Amino acid sequence: QKEVEQNSGPLSVPEGAIASLNCTYSDRGSQSFFWYRQYSGKSPELIMSIYSNGDKEDGRFTAQLNKASQYVSLLIRDSQPSDSATYLCAVNKGTDKLIFGTGTRLQVFP
Amino acid sequence: DTGVSQDPRHKITKRGQNVTFRCDPISEHNRLYWYRQTLGQGPEFLTYFQNEAQLEKSRLLSDRFSAERPKGSFSTLEIQRTEQGDSAMYLCASSPNRGDYGYTFGSGTRLTVV
């Protein structure tokens, strides 16, 4: 079992829709959770962090964490073509490094 | 704050040659990380430093790989006797603390071994 699992996609949504990206992790001791956006050929860019159960909103982005289910998700409201990218879920297990999933490719079509 | 800088952006080398990459972290960040990313995969941890001390190395980091961070400032990653399997994007990241607040990545160095 991978430490951080994501569906590789692609996830295709129409412009203006809500995109829902999901991630599960294996270590119950994981403490902090991150979403990175990575455009093709570019490096990852941090877009959201979440540390406690529940929702955290930042603009069009909402991160959701459920530690009991070992599940973290990212919702993107009013999706735009410029949101088309790979979204990486990363988990800190309480050590000094982040473990990344393989990423989900999101395609937003006009 | 000019972000995390990596040099070079691209490197093409022949199999068997040695290569060295440089990373300049954000100046106030005491933690520096190296990751490797291949196509379709997420970044894989290689090693990290707190100041000048190398605190952890991944099993992915064979003895052909060595990293340094003299004086706790910039870092170098050297790959000796490169192999085609070393072709990847090498990402450097820094953070001001344990990584509890995420990293800032540099633009990466794309290595192609021919």
Cβ within 8 Å, pair A46-B102: yes
Q: Tens digit of pLDDT for each residue in B13-33?
A: 999 999 999 999 998 899 999
Residue B108 has pLDDT above 90, yes or no: yes
A34 touches chain B (CB under 8 A): yes
Residue B2 has pLDDT above 80, yes or no: no
- Write the residue in B42, B45, B101 that is nearest to A49 by C-beta: B101
pLDDT given for residue B98 in this prediction: 62
Report residue B59's pLDDT band, with 50, 70 and 90 as the boundaries. confident
Q: Tens digit of pLDDT for each residue in B3-17?
A: 999 999 999 999 999
Query: Chain B partners of A44 at a C-beta cutoff of 8 Å?
Result: 43, 91, 105
Kindly write down the DSSP assignment for every residue of B25-75, as one continuous string.
Answer: --TT--EEEEEEE-TTS--EEEEEEETTEEEEE-TT--TTEEEE-GGGS-E
Rounded Cα distance, B35 and B43, in Å? 6
The pLDDT of B83-103, averaged and rounded, is: 88
Question: Quick check: A73 and A56 in contact, CB under 8 A?
Answer: no
Residue spans of alpha helices (H) in A18-67? none
Cβ within 8 Å, pair A98-B103: yes
Q: Tens digit of pLDDT for each residue in A8-58?
A: 889 999 999 999 999 999 999 898 999 999 999 999 999 999 999 999 999
The single-letter code of the amino acid at B106 is: G
- Write the residue in A42, A43, A100 that is nearest to B42 by C-beta: A100
pLDDT given for residue A96 in this prediction: 80
Give residue ranges of B with CB < 8 Å to any A CB.
31, 33, 35, 40-45, 48, 50, 55-56, 89, 91, 98-108
Rounded (10°) CA dihedral B37, A78, A71, A53: 120
Rounded Cα distance, B107 and B104, in Å? 10
Residue B61 has pLDDT above 60, yes or no: yes
Rounded Cα distance, A104 and A20, in Å? 10
Rounded Cα distance, A81 and B108, in Å? 25
Residue B42 has pLDDT above 60, yes or no: yes
With a CB-CB cutoff of 8 Å, which residues 59-88 of chain A face chain B? Answer: 88
Query: Chain A partners of B89 at a C-beta cutoff of 8 Å?
Result: 43
pLDDT given for residue A2 in this prediction: 85
Residue B99 has pLDDT above 80, yes or no: no
Contacts of B63 (CB under 8 A, 6+ apart): none
Rounded Cα distance, B29 and A24, in Å? 29
- Write the residue in B43, B89, B101 that is nearest to A100 by C-beta: B43
Question: Quick check: B106 and B77 in contact, CB under 8 A?
Answer: no
- Strand boundaries in A39-80, DSSP class E: 45-50, 54-58, 61-66, 71-76
B94: Cα separation from own chain's centroid: 10
The single-letter code of the amino acid at A69 is: S
